[in-house]
Amino acid sequence: MYPELNEQISCKDLLFRNRAKLYWQFNCNKAWLTFKNPHGKSRIISLLNHDFFRLQGRLGYVGFTEYPSFFLAQHNVISGCCDPPIFYLHDKTTGKIRSELGSLVYFSKEYDTPVVIYTKEDRLVILNVETGKKHIIELPGRSIEQGLIHKKTLYAENLFTTKQQQEQLVIYFDYQDNKKLITHFDIDLKKY
């Protein structure tokens, strides 16, 4: 019924270092993403019905990053622009969601640097997803709110840009406070 699905839905397994894997399957009614642990136990972690087949790869689970005990899954809520994706942290042994992280300012794509950064009120939160340790960077009072107004955006993540050079990450924060200010933070990812 949908012969083009073979071209739209990847049939290549994503293998993790612990021998767990993710893979897509589909029939005429739906497509589903399956997690299979190293012992052969499977669970469906995402489902697209046939109305959304053509959006596969742009909607739902679209990207994965592996860390020692977890994998980070990027979930696009909308196909196209403007809404940032949300991220889920899955246990690499069970496939279960460990945490809904929401939208992120940054996430490391390196296996040995399991760090994500997100905003919470007027703070940047640096989280090591393996240890659960958090480091907080306080931002100037109401700066996120002011930045959203100044940049005419709904999402705090749009106020930040990142530049990575090896293990050093620079985060630029653009906000308005009587005059245009751009603040930057140098973050040594290996510290976290």
pLDDT averaged over every residue in the chain: 85
Q: What is the pLDDT of residue 119?
A: 92
- Tell me what percent of the residues of the chain surpass a pLDDT of 90: 43
- pTM of the complete model: 0.82
Q: What is the pLDDT of residue 104?
A: 95
Confidence category of residue 9, pLDDT binned at 50, 70, 90 = low
Q: Is 19 left (phi over 0), alpha (psi -120 to 50) or beta?
A: left
> What 8-state DSSP symbol labels residue 7?
H
1 pLDDT exceeds 50?
Answer: no
184 pLDDT exceeds 60?
Answer: yes
Highest mean pLDDT (candidates 81-90, 107-116, 142-151): 107-116
177 pLDDT exceeds 80?
Answer: no
> What 8-state DSSP symbol labels residue 145?
H
CB atoms under 10 Å from CB of 129, counted, come to: 23
- Tell me what percent of the residues of the chain surpass a pLDDT of 70: 83
18 pLDDT exceeds 70?
Answer: yes
Q: What is the pLDDT of residue 153?
A: 85
83 pLDDT exceeds 70?
Answer: yes
Nearest to 64 by CA among 83, 82, 46: 46
